[in-house]
Amino acid sequence: MINRTEAPLIKDAVEFDVVLKPYEKHVLDNGIPVYSVASNEQDTIQLELVFPGGSWYETESLVASSTNFLMKNGAGKHSALDINEQIEYYGAYLSRASSHENATYTLHSLTKHIEKLLPTMAEVILDPTFSEEELATFKQNMKQRLVVSLQKCDFVANRYIDKYLFGEFHPYGRVSTMMAYDALQTEDLRAFYKKQYTFNNCKIFIAGNLPANIIPLLNQYFGSNDWNGRSEILRPDLPIMPAEEKKHRIFNDENGVQGAVRIARPFPNRYHPDFPKMLVLNTIFGGYFGSRLMSNIREDKGYTYGIHSHLSNFRQTSALTIQTEAGRDVCEKTVEEVYKELAILQQEQVPEDELMLVRNYMIGSILGDLDGAFQVIQRWKNLILNELDESYFYNNIQVIKSISAAELQVLAQRYFNKEDFYELVVI
């Protein structure tokens, strides 16, 4: 008979040698860098173009995200329908996204179709039209979506907590409004596009099963001239204007059966030496299923379906945010328990077995995250766009493997003080 009460021997994940597979770098004729990670196991390819086109760079609210969205809705002589038809006929996806910092266009396709898709993608990037009609439809539909979202306590809470942390005039704290949608003009989008989406601000990331002629192909479509001209983008730090009042309660829906709880404080950005250490402390506190917050507030008390804390990876400055949706009658108790857990980490050192578990969990999770070329390029992209290299990655691994319980306690004493946190419940 086997002894089922005894766990099988494990290899501690901290003993694993985590390796970030290197990328290859090419430079197109006009200077655009191309970072690539190849793997031939599947027949799929991912091609991503990144520009400094996030909300950071806009002077009017929503211009960055609207520009990014509408580029695909008409380019050259082609309508939105033509473009979608071209992409979708080959079973491919051309997706766009914009964040605070960057804006991207990403093509996912079977490798065998990539050559047929590049002309359409190039037209979208190089020659978008921004028609009045497309903008009008976009405004109307986005306003409809906003009006539905504003009924959701979690959506409303996310808007307010960012406003408290950064101020409503900072790109990190600015939110979408009906007025901002109404104010959008095609010429503003066109001007933003012309300034941000230029050849000298473009970076290309490519991964998967790459055809042998991929670099000549990219040169043909994106590398042959100085499209949109050279534009120098400046990035000054912008003033942060946090709220003075820290404690907020908002009633959004009188019949709400749950409240959205947000508790957050500002935190230095990723370049600060405490950042990688806080990634470990945050995991212990609220960053994984077995975290202190989950164990207490979900698994012991059943106040919520889930509670998490996370570090934002914004460029200028970051924030540590705890978030959950809890039963209406237990929201205040949930807030209380969050502070209790913060205080415990200040008063008592994390036990060695729990720390070991979190080290193993984090390393195992990174190992899993690096599985496959698409995941590897994603890591590299985050490093490169933040002007970091692999030493940053390996330093983080080293911190996970070696940070002590005493160091974590010092960190908690520095950053887990109740009076530094903004606190919000939206019902």
Partner 1 sequence: MIHYNRFTLSNGLRVLVHEDTTTPMAVMNVMYDVGARDEDPSKTGFAHLFEHLMFGGSVNIPEYDEPLQMAGGENNAYTTNDLTNYYISLPAENLETAFWLESDRMLSLAFSDKSLDVQRKVVSEEFKEHYINKPYGDVWHKMRELAYSTHPYRWMTIGKELSHIENASLTDVKSFFFRHYRPVNAILVVGGNVKTEKVRELAEKWFGDIEPGDKYTRNLPQEPKQNSAHLLEIKSKVPLDALYMAYHMYPRQDPRYYAADLISDIFSGGGSSRLHQVLVKEKKLFSNIDCYHFGSLDAGLMAIDGKLVKGVKMNDAEAAIKEEILKLQENKVQERELEKVKNRVESMLAFEDMSLLNRANNLAFYELIGNAEQMNTEFENYQRVTTDDIQREAQLIFDEKNSNTIHYYAEN
Number of H-type helices and E-type strands within the chain: 15, 13
User: Smaller CB distance to partner 1: residue 299 or 389?
Assistant: 299
User: Smaller CB distance to partner 1: residue 150 or 385?
Assistant: 150
Find the binding residues for partner 1 in span 12-31 (CB under 8 A): 12-13, 16
223 binds partner 1 (CB under 8 A): no
Contact string (CB under 8 A) for partner 1, positions 302-341, x = contact: xxxx-------------------xxx--------------
For 382, the 3-state DSSP assignment is helix
User: Smaller CB distance to partner 1: residue 32 or 92?
Assistant: 92
Find the binding residues for partner 1 in span 75-94 (CB under 8 A): 80-81, 83-85, 87-93
* HSE of 232, CA atoms in CB hemisphere, 13 A: 2
Total chain residues near partner 1 (CB under 8 A): 75
Task: Output phi, psi for 389, to 5 deg.
Answer: -130, -170
The backbone region for 249, taken as left when phi is positive above 0, alpha when psi lies in -120 to 50, beta otherwise, is beta
153 binds partner 1 (CB under 8 A): yes
211 binds partner 1 (CB under 8 A): no
Say if strands 78-79 and 74-75 run parallel, antiparallel, or are unpaired: antiparallel
Shortest Å, Cβ 361 to partner 1: 4
378 binds partner 1 (CB under 8 A): no
Interface pick for partner 1 out of 105, 222, 314, 361 (rule CB under 8 A): 361
Taking the CA atoms of residue 226, residue 228, residue 233 and residue 239 in that order, the dihedral angle to the nearest 10 degrees is: -160
The DSSP 8-state label assigned to residue 128 in this structure reads: B
Distance CA 405, CA 354 (A): 10
Find the binding residues for partner 1 in span 32-51 (CB under 8 A): 39, 41-44
Shortest Å, Cβ 107 to partner 1: 12
The 44-51 sheet, strands edge to edge = 24-27, 33-38, 203-208, 44-51, 103-110, 93-98
User: Smaller CB distance to partner 1: residue 102 or 109?
Assistant: 109
Name residues whose C-beta falls within 8 Å of residue 10's C-beta, 6 or more positions apart in sequence: none
Tokens of 149: 């979202």
Q: Do 286 and 322 meet the contact criterion of CB atoms below 8 Å apart?
A: yes
User: Smaller CB distance to partner 1: residue 246 or 328?
Assistant: 328
144 binds partner 1 (CB under 8 A): yes
Shortest Å, Cβ 238 to partner 1: 33
Q: By CB under 8 A, which span of 124-132, 213-221, 252-260, 391-399 interacts with partner 1?
A: 252-260
Task: Output phi, psi for 235, to 5 deg.
Answer: -135, 70
User: Smaller CB distance to partner 1: residue 265 or 292?
Assistant: 292
Find the binding residues for partner 1 in span 389-418 (CB under 8 A): none
Shortest Å, Cβ 194 to partner 1: 25
